[in-house]
């Protein structure tokens, strides 16, 4: 019964769509490639959205199509935007220009071009996983990737997440600037002082929550609990902010369906 009901609803929708198309209110999918593309995109959008009801064959079709097409797309992108210009183009520019990108022949060759044999060798080592023997060699490439990543990111994290945060927190909480100092008015602002104090306490409390080598008991435990409150308030604000962004995405998709496809707006 339920299935018949859904099929009936689907038939009515299709009928309405067919009538609107026949009357010229909507793009005809068989008239032009643009029309076909719009219909295809709209139906795929609805197919993905059908997941909100339940898993179904239509969703499954859209899912597999999406996964297959995107995986192939990224593979092609990886080849053309990374391997060809950054590896083959550096090592064998004339051959690459002949086979893939003619424009690359005009560029001067990197004086350290031979260093690109290192990523080539490690790339081949990664592929050795597929070989029946010597698969362990792929670990060397992985070790290099993990090690260099950790080393390279260390300074970036230290400066941005540690020193940068401390520097940003170093502000006066007096709410007052002496007239002899630049920008000093000599006027006390309670509001300024209040928010500066709140800011410093909130940061210190949140930081204390991430202190792992001391049990969160007593005064320290109470202080770190304030830190949890700070985190949760921040998350709440972040939740609302991001949801608004997501609604904007949804509006964009609904707009596509109503304007570009159905032409009802």
Partner 1 sequence: MSLVRPAPRGRPDHQTRPPRNPLLLPLALILGGMLMGFLPGSVTSASGQVETEAGGQVETETGGQVETEAGRRAEGAAGDAVPQTAPPPPEIEARDTPSDRGENITVTWTPPPEDTGVGGPVFGYRIERGLSPEGPFEHIGQASPGATRYDDTNVADGLPYYYRVITLTASAEGTSGIGGPAIAAPQWINTNQWNVFIVLALLLGFNLYFIEHIKAGGKPFIRKIAGLEAINEAVGRATEMGRPILFVPGIQDMNDIQTVAGVTILSYIARTVAEYDSRLVVPTSRALVMTTARETVKEAFLAAGRPESYDESSIYYITDEQFGYVAGVNGYMVREKPATCFYMGAFFAESLILAETGNSIGAIQVAGTAMPAQLPFFVAACDYTLIGEELFAASAYLSGEPKQLGSIKGQDVGKFIGMLSVAVGVLVLSIAMITGWDPLVRVAEWIRIFWSTELA
Among 158, 251, 254, 259, binds partner 1 (CB under 8 A): 158
Q: How many CB atoms lie within 10 A of CB 184?
A: 11
Long-range contact list for 22-28, CB < 8 A, 24+ apart?
Answer: 25/263, 26/261, 26/262, 26/263, 27/261, 27/263
Least distance from partner 1 to the Cβ atom of residue 227, Å: 10
Instruction: Tell whether residue 51 is a contact of partner 1 (CB under 8 A).
Output: yes
Provide the mask over 126-155, with x wherever binding to partner 1 is found by CB under 8 A and - wherever it is not: x--x--------xx--x--xx--xx--xxx
Least distance from partner 1 to the Cβ atom of residue 124, Å: 14
Instruction: Tell whether residue 166 is a contact of partner 1 (CB under 8 A).
Output: yes
Least distance from partner 1 to the Cβ atom of residue 217, Å: 10
Burial of 62 (0-12, 13-18, 19+ CB in 10 A): buried
Q: Please, where are the H alpha helices in the chain?
A: 2-22, 33-49, 57-78, 89-91, 93-99, 117-127, 138-157, 164-169, 190-209, 218-255
> Token digits for 52?
């909100």
Among 92, 116, 140, 176, binds partner 1 (CB under 8 A): 176
Instruction: Tell whether residue 202 is a contact of partner 1 (CB under 8 A).
Output: no
Restricted to residues 181-200, the positions that interact with partner 1 (CB under 8 A) are: 181-184, 200
In angstroms, rounded to a whole number, what is the distance separating the alpha carbons of residues 229 and 231?
A: 5
Instruction: Tell whether residue 160 is a contact of partner 1 (CB under 8 A).
Output: yes
Instruction: Tell whether residue 63 is a contact of partner 1 (CB under 8 A).
Output: yes
Contacts of 149 (CB under 8 A, 6+ apart): none
Least distance from partner 1 to the Cβ atom of residue 153, Å: 6
Least distance from partner 1 to the Cβ atom of residue 167, Å: 4
Instruction: Tell whether residue 103 is a contact of partner 1 (CB under 8 A).
Output: no
Q: Evaluate whether 45 touches 256 at the Cβ level (below 8 Å).
A: yes
Q: Evaluate whether 106 touches 135 at the Cβ level (below 8 Å).
A: no
Least distance from partner 1 to the Cβ atom of residue 5, Å: 22
Among 10, 11, 19, 71, binds partner 1 (CB under 8 A): 71
């Amino acid at each position: 019964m339920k299935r018949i009901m859904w099929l009936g609803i689907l038939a009515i929708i299709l009928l309405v769509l067919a009538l609107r198309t026949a009357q010229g209110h909507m793009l005809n999918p068989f008239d032009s490639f643009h029309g076909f593309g719009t219909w295809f995109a709209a139906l795929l959008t609805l197919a993905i959205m059908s997941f909100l009801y339940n898993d179904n064959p239509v969703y499954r079709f859209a899912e597999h199509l999406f996964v297959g097409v995107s995986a192939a797309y990224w593979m092609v992108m990886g080849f053309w935007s990374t391997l060809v210009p950054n590896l083959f183009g550096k090592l064998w520019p004339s051959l690459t220009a002949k086979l893939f990108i003619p424009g690359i022949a005009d560029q001067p060759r990197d004086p350290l071009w031979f260093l690109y044999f290192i990523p080539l060798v490690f790339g081949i080592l990664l592929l050795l996983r597929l070989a029946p023997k010597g698969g362990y060699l792929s670990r060397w490439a992985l070790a290099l990737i993990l090690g260099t990543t950790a080393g390279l990111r260390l300074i970036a994290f230290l400066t941005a997440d540690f020193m940068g945060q401390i520097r940003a927190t170093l502000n006066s909480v007096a709410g007052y600037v002496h007239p002899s100092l630049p920008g000093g008015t000599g006027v006390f602002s309670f509001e300024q002082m209040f928010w500066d104090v709140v800011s410093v306490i909130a940061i210190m409390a949140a930081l204390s929550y991430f202190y792992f080598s001391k049990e969160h008991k007593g005064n320290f435990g109470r202080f770190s609990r304030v830190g949890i409150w700070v985190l949760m308030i921040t998350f709440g604000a972040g939740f609302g902010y991001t949801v608004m962004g997501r609604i904007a995405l949804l509006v964009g998709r609904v707009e596509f369906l109503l304007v570009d496809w159905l032409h009802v707006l």
